[in-house]
Amino acid sequence: MSNYAYLIALVPLLSFVMIVFFLRWKEKLAAGWSIASILASWTMSLIVLIETLGRHGEPLEYFFYLTTFKGINFEIGILIDGLTAVMLMVVTTVASCVHIYSLGYMKDDPRFSRFFSYLSLFCFSMLGLVLANNFFMIFIFWELVGLTSYLLIGFWFEKKSAADAGKKAFITTRIGDLGFIVGLMMVGAYAGTFNYGGVFEKVASGQIPTAVLTVMAAFIFCGAIGKSAQFPLHVWLPDAMEGPTPVSALIHAATMVAAGVYLVARSMNLYVGAPEAAMIVAVIGLVTSFIAASIGLVQNDIKRILAYSTVSQLGYMIMALGLYGYDVGMDPHAHSAGFYAGTFHLMTHAFFKGLLFLGAGSVIHAVHTNDIQDMGGLLGKMKITSVTFILASLSIAGIFPLAGFWSKDEIVAATHGHPIFNIFTLIIAFMTAFYMFRLCFLTFFGKPRDQHRYEHAHESPRSMSWPLAFLGFLAVSAGWVGIPTLHGFSSFVFFGEPYHTSFHWDVMIISTIVAVAGIVLAYLIYYKKSISADMLAEKFRPIHTFLYNKWYFDELYSFVIINPILALGRFLWTFDARIVDGLVNGAAWLTIVWADIKWWFDKWIVDGAVNGAGWIVSQGSGLLRLIQNGAVQFYALFVLGGLLVLIAFKYEDVYVSLEWPWLSAIIIVALGLLSLVAKRTASREAAAETETEK
Amino acid sequence: MDASVGPVFWILAAVTILSGIAVVSLKNIFHCALFLILCLFSVAGIYILLHAEFLAAAQVLIYVGAVAILMIFAIMLTSGLASRTIKQVNKHALTALFACVLFVFVVIGLIFKSNVWNWARVPLPEDNVMTIGKLLMTKYMLPFEVVSVLLLAALIGAITLAREEEA
Amino acid sequence: MHHYLYLAAILFAIGTFGVITRRNVIGILMSLELMFNAVNINLVAFNKFVATEPLAGQLFAIFIVVVAAAEATVGLAIVLLVYRNWRGIETENFSVMKW
């Protein structure tokens, strides 16, 4: 099966084409086709996963050369190793759930088929990105997922905020992609190939100077910064929540935003070769994680809280990967959990965050608002949604024995030896537990704050609740493949040497205490109300405002980047209006004055010359106009003439050769024949024309 | 002087040139098309002289069989043209004649003077057609595919253009 | 080999003359075919006498034949369209696109 793995990506593409061309108006069929194809992809991914497990993650590569340009081979191909197989599984699983969920969620949308066609296109791009075996191909799919993300964020483009959010996401990620392109060019220039294996070989054999490698790795990371919404380009992801919720779950939580993490994991060789770049990666991951978690503490929009949580968790993964690159780069025998932790968390996060978003969608579907201050007490009304949502929250907070517990512990373990990272990671874990349970308590417990909305709330249809249940199962159990000392996940997805997992009792206990503390605090504030939330907000007013306004990043960017550009535009406009126009007007005015003073002089003396000149120009242009007569044949004649002139310049000796008598004879005969024909035609013409005149 | 320039060549060349002149100069467009077919046939003969049998067959099939017939169809469809006796050349006739004769002059001179060809040649394989088939499927795969896509595009384009507007 | 090149040159010139002077679009298309054929003769002749790579010339001649067929198809479709709109296919009709 593995050698047919490209089908995993192509089946959704076929579905996209079918829907766009044939099933546009048959909504049921379009959705069915789309779901069937993603389920087919899922089945194939499962087979590939099993086969890869059988090979113990041994890489498998199939490719063919597309073309060669300046000595660089451009390939199309697939690479399957443990990382690819796991990513395939994650993407197709979440995508299948989202597809089925969308059946219910998008039921009454006028662009139902289009939505499914976009989903299929996204699946194709994302699976292609995962399967790619070289940097060139990953870049193409990278841009394709960006495009589908743009299309889906702006899916309800009648809403100005949605259209704007789409543009913001597209342009912001484009800034990162610019860096990615530069990185790719450096790869092409210094490694002479785009193939992962080829590039890594060059890096390993030390053929690329470390300085170049550092810059290259940092530029490639720029792509990840944009796509995975890392600081300072994280601003697009919360706005991207304007898209339909299934899209948020699939693209902006589980899969596409994880592509940056995947890219870093995939090019880990580069970071191992350039520890400084790896350190940059780690620091940016930590900073992002902290900023996003702190913003998440005070937001009120259910989807935005989840979005900041996503950014924060992505920062976690990237930090873990960066630390791994740094540790191993500094000491090749270092035993770091980073790579394992990052990829493992990528997997578990995809499941529980996809679940959280789908659950949020279910809630929004029921109460028609995004504001958690208007919800409350939904536990009794929406059993499945509430239970799965709370399970996922426990999982992300890191409570034993749910999926998040195992992966988060590994991330904490990966910070071993970096005290600052260690402390901040725990703080972030605390904040995560707190804001997730603030969300839960406000949404599902307590008294309903908006009686009207509460009464209309109801459990979502089965097409929506079943995917929730399935993802809920995964959010609980997906972590068990990584239980230490069982060597499940760690012996399958690894870099270099498989990581030997072991129980870090200290880490487990501390992180559990931290998580429980976060939950208890949220419980006290938002359920028991023994601590007043308003009082706290009042007490820490400046911090609260600062966080509530998302660290003023949007304002900062509009002040530092957008306003100067607008100001420059306005300045140029003013310059044009005042100074340039002024100059022109002044010149005109001067001319008038000049003319007024000298009019008699002009009239009698200059006029003659001017009119004369005008007459000459007019006559001349009349002649030139004849050349530009729009008749292509006339132009062709000039082309031929031009060719002759060129030949005459280049080979002036050619004309000398014409003295050979037999050559002349041929030419004379040809000339004679042609002129005879022409003459005959001309005379006939004249006759014909007189005839038609009659 | 090489062996392939014999009486057959001269006859074919004469037919080609004369029918070519007829194509561009005759008044009746229908006759022009018939002479075009003759001209294309004799070019096919020249291909055979040059040991390009497959190309000769393709020439007859595609040009004579398809393109020329298409032209005749077009002439028939644009009714009344076949017998129209209007001026068939435009006002540039004399200038163009002069330029073209000069062109022939110059190019023939150029060819005569040049001796820069790399005469060390690879002999043509005996089984021309088979080799062409193999090359098309291996080395020239990409152009082959591109050309087929071009044909498809031309087909669709022609249908779209020429279709009668639906009421 | 020179002889083939001479023949091609003459045929090419005849074609050019036709393209420049015909008033009828179908006539122009026919002249274009002549030019294509001239080029093909050159390619095949070079292929036979001076090629360093066997059959490359013939292959490209085949591609040219295909392209010429495509060009004729689209060209004639356009001719039909023009004829339907103007009841005539003289090149003067086409100059309305000048502006």
Domains in chain B: boundaries: 3-115+125-166
**C20 reaches A (C-beta below 8 A):** yes
**A681 reaches C (C-beta below 8 A):** no
Q: What's the CA dihedral at A541, A542, A548, A551 to 10 degrees?
A: -170
| DSSP classification of residue A78 | E
The Cα of A636 is separated from the nearest Cα of chain C by a number of Å equal to 6
| DSSP classification of residue A550 | G
Q: Which residues pair with A132 in a beta bridge?
A: A78
Indicate the residue of C29, C37, C78 with minimum beta-carbon distance to B71: C29
**B83 reaches A (C-beta below 8 A):** no
The Cα of A3 is separated from the nearest Cα of chain B by a number of Å equal to 22
Q: Which residues of chain A have pLDDT under 70?
A: 1, 485-488, 496-497, 533, 600, 602-606, 621-634, 645, 647-694
Amino acid A675: pLDDT? 57
Cβ-Cβ contacts under 8 Å, B101 against chain C? 13
Please state, in angstroms and rounded to a whole number, the distance separating the CA atoms of residues A350 and A258: 8
Q: Do C22 and B90 touch (CB under 8 A)?
A: yes
Smallest CA-to-CA distance from A317 within A270, A269, A253, A237 is with: A253
Question: What are the C-alpha distances in Å from A110 to residues A33, A106, A113, A413?
Answer: 18, 9, 8, 49
Spell A391-405 as b/e; 16+ CB within 10 A means b. Answer: bbbbbbbbbeebbbb
Which CATH number applies to B3-115+125-166? 1.20.120.1200
Residues 6 or more apart whose Cβ sits within 8 Å of residue A210: A273, A274
Amino acid C98: pLDDT? 43
The Cα of A611 is separated from the nearest Cα of chain B by a number of Å equal to 34
Q: Which CATH number among 3.40.190.10, 3.10.20.30, 1.10.10.60, 1.10.287.3510 corresponds to the domain C2-97? A: 1.10.287.3510
Q: How many helices (H) and strands (E) does chain C have?
A: 4, 0
Amino acid A60: pLDDT? 82
Indicate the residue of C51, C69, C80 with minimum beta-carbon distance to B67: C69
Cβ-Cβ contacts under 8 Å, A625 against chain C? none
Which residue in this structure is represented by tokens 């041994």? Answer: A58
Cβ-Cβ contacts under 8 Å, C34 against chain B? 20, 23-24, 36, 39
Given phi > 0 = left and psi -120 to 50 = alpha, else beta, which region is A485? left
Cβ-Cβ contacts under 8 Å, B105 against chain A? 658, 667
Q: What is the mean pLDDT of residues C12-17?
A: 89
Q: Which residues of chain B have pLDDT under 50?
A: 1, 82, 167
Q: Do A631 and C95 touch (CB under 8 A)?
A: yes
H or E element that contains A363: helix A338-367
Amino acid B1: pLDDT? 40
Overall residue count recorded for chain C in this entry: 99
* Amino acid symbol at C99: W
**A692 reaches C (C-beta below 8 A):** no
Q: Do C98 and A629 touch (CB under 8 A)?
A: yes
Q: Which residues pair with B89 in a beta bridge?
A: C22
**A66 reaches B (C-beta below 8 A):** no
Indicate the residue of C26, C37, C49 with minimum beta-carbon distance to B40: C37
Q: Do A657 and B86 touch (CB under 8 A)?
A: no
Smallest CA-to-CA distance from C50 within A277, A336, B116, A472 is with: B116
**C86 reaches A (C-beta below 8 A):** no
ipTM score of complex? 0.83
The Cα of A678 is separated from the nearest Cα of chain C by a number of Å equal to 11
DSSP string, B69-93: HHHHHHHHHSTT-TT--S--B-TTH
Please state, in angstroms and rounded to a whole number, the distance separating the CA atoms of residues A45 and A87: 9
Amino acid A39: pLDDT? 92
Amino acid A73: pLDDT? 78
Q: Do A634 and B92 touch (CB under 8 A)?
A: yes
The Cα of A63 is separated from the nearest Cα of chain C by a number of Å equal to 28
Smallest CA-to-CA distance from A314 within A236, A227, A387 is with: A227
Residue A387: count of CB within 10 angstroms of its CB:
16
Give the CA count within 13 Å in the CB-facing half-sphere of B131.
16
Domains in chain C: boundaries: 2-97
**A669 reaches B (C-beta below 8 A):** no
Cβ-Cβ contacts under 8 Å, A637 against chain C? 20
Cα dihedral across residues B135, B137, B141, B145: positive or negative: positive
pLDDT band at C39 (very low <50, low <70, confident <90, very high): very high
The Cα of C93 is separated from the nearest Cα of chain B by a number of Å equal to 13
**B88 reaches A (C-beta below 8 A):** yes
Amino acid A667: pLDDT? 58
Smallest CA-to-CA distance from A7 within A49, A59, A43, A52 is with: A43
Q: Do B107 and C13 touch (CB under 8 A)?
A: yes
